[in-house]
Amino acid sequence: MRTFLYHLTIPLLAGSLLISCDLIKRKPDPNESDRKPVARVNSVYLYQDELEGITTTGVTKEDSAARVIAYVNNWIRKQLIMQEAEKKIDINEAEVQRKVLEYRYSLIGYEYQNYYIRQNLVDSVTEEEINKYYKEHKDNFILKKNIVRATFIKVPKGAPRTNRIKPWLYSQKPKDMEDLKSYCLSFSSAYHLSDSAWVEFDKLAVNSPLADIPNKIQFLRAYNYYETTDNESLYFLKIDAYKISDSESPIDFVRSDIKNIILNKRKAELSRKLEDEVYENAVRNKQFEIYP
């Protein structure tokens, strides 16, 4: 079997047709005798034209051959399982066909819905929309973690000018802020410079002695500046603001989440709109009827 598979002719595999999802192919009638089989499982054949679309342009000859071999071997295994099942258990063909139809709808309908959504989705979300959603759903945005707006700097013990770090942290001068950033780029092994973004305290403190603080809520309430050390490094932490777990999340922390929620709601509405439009057009054009 392996020798036969390696002799599949690659140039005949190019094309853009999708492989049929109907795996069961019986012997061809005389009108189909020109189709070239590439594999057989009992009376079921896989034809060369059904392999079109497996390979794509830009793929090497070796990769194309490997894809074809993998597909054919997978087809054989599936055929063997199906044929064995047909011999051993009673198959409800009507139920199988319903499932096939549902699967077909899922594939084709999903693709069309995505196309429709791409054509019609307004993907811009205004601050007004975000604020409105936040105010109406505040109970959905309760913090599960402690978050901070803070500066965190880790430097080796032998780093120069560590005595300048604290003054830089408290300075509001643009030059000092630039000097701190330059210092971190040159000497810090890990750092986070404070900006308007909120960050989980546990993520900020990971791989540092701060991660071992037993009561982090008490720590956040007690300190806005903290220095500590271990065998290799010095750690500097300046906390500008914090929110503890189980409190209301600040809108800045969940802004991107809210935007995604709004966009997903729009997508769901467009999907429903598409189904309604197709159904209503079919009713007007008398494209279907239900028999008593």
pLDDT of 30 over the 70 cut: no
**Residue of higher predicted confidence among 279 and 28:** 279
pTM: 0.67
Q: What percent of the chain has pLDDT over 70?
A: 89
Higher-scoring residue by pLDDT: 21, 165: 165
Domains of the chain: 2-91 (no CATH), 96-140+255-292 (no CATH), 143-243 (3.10.50)
Fill in the amino acid letter for 170. Answer: Y
Mean pLDDT within 105-115: 93
Q: What confidence score (pLDDT) does residue 194 get?
A: 84
Instruction: Average the pLDDT over each of 24-38, 94-108, 137-151, 275-289 and give the range with the smallest value.
Output: 24-38
What value does the mean pLDDT take over residues 127-149?
96
- 90 vs 134 pLDDT, higher one: 134
Contact 271, 113 (CB under 8 A): yes
Confidence of residue 52 (pLDDT cuts 50, 70, 90): confident
pLDDT (0 to 100) of residue 139: 93
pLDDT for res 33: 66
What is the biggest distance separating any 2 CA atoms in the chain, rounded to whole angstroms? 91
Mean pLDDT of 257-275: 96
pLDDT of residue 32: 56
Least confident of 25-39, 115-129, 187-201, 248-262: 25-39
State yes or no: pLDDT of 15 exceeds 70: no
**Average of per-residue pLDDT across 59-68:** 88
The single residue listed with the structure tokens 């560590």 is: 162
- The confidence score (pLDDT) of residue 56 equals 77
Find how far residue 205's CA is from the centre of its chain: 27
